Amino acid sequence: MRIIFVPALLFSLAAFGQWDTAYHSVAMSKRIDDPKIVVAQIGEKALIYVGLTPLMTGVKDDTGEAKRFLDSASRQSDTINIDFYYTLKYFEYPISGQLIKGNAMVYYQRQHAFVDTILHRFERYDEHGDRFFYLPDKRPFFFVMELSGILDREPVPPGKNYQGYLEEGKKMAGLREY
């Protein structure tokens, strides 16, 4: 009975708007302690450097496409450059996990330097809940969708979802801009 209660409690907290929307600061690694490095290019703002080993353990891909790609690429080079991470199913989630833990290095292309800290926070856009990652000057550079199909207790006024989706789309489009 207790096993069922805890997940139900967690679901009800998320379902009724009790998630944390504050900015969280994360100190980034000064170096990657892995012989193989993955560099994810996120538009023109930032490059994310993560070790291959922790990234591979975090990849949850039913098709195995991401793991096959990373395994194949790591045989050819010590550094794997990826500028198309959204084509690899669920690849953004292990990168997000490494950023949240601080097990990554983020290169801010405008400043031509690695940043010491980043910020992240959960943001709701109507039926979606996204985690956005920010550079120290609060410019967003990366995101993952964490929740989808969020339902409110009260009926949603006509057109409200449309405006939320427009806001979310504009913010996501801005991630790739310098």
Instruction: Give the model's pLDDT for residue 17.
Output: 47
pLDDT of residue 18: 53
State the chain's maximal CA–CA distance in angstroms: 55
Measured distance CA(104)–CA(27) in Å, rounded? 9
Write down the pLDDT at residue 11.
41
Which amino acid is located at 73 in the chain?
A
- For 7-68, the DSSP string reads HHHHHHHHHTT----S-EEEEPPSS--SSSEEEEEETTTEEEEEEHHHHHHH---TT-HHHH
Confidence at residue 60, expressed as pLDDT on a 0 to 100 scale: 72
pLDDT attached to residue 157: 61
Could you tell me which of 43, 64, 39 has the C-alpha nearest to residue 51?
39
Residue 41 pLDDT: 85
| Contact by Cβ (8 Å): 153, 16 | yes
pLDDT given for residue 135 in this prediction? 96
pLDDT of residue 161: 63
Smallest Cα–Cα separation from 142: which of 166, 105, 176? 176
Q: What angle do CA 125, 148, 160 make, to 5 degrees?
A: 35
Blockwise average pLDDT, block size 10, the chain, 178 residues: 34 49 93 91 88 83 73 84 69 90 94 96 81 93 79 61 68 67
Task: Dig out the tokens for 161 from the structure.
Answer: 């979802």
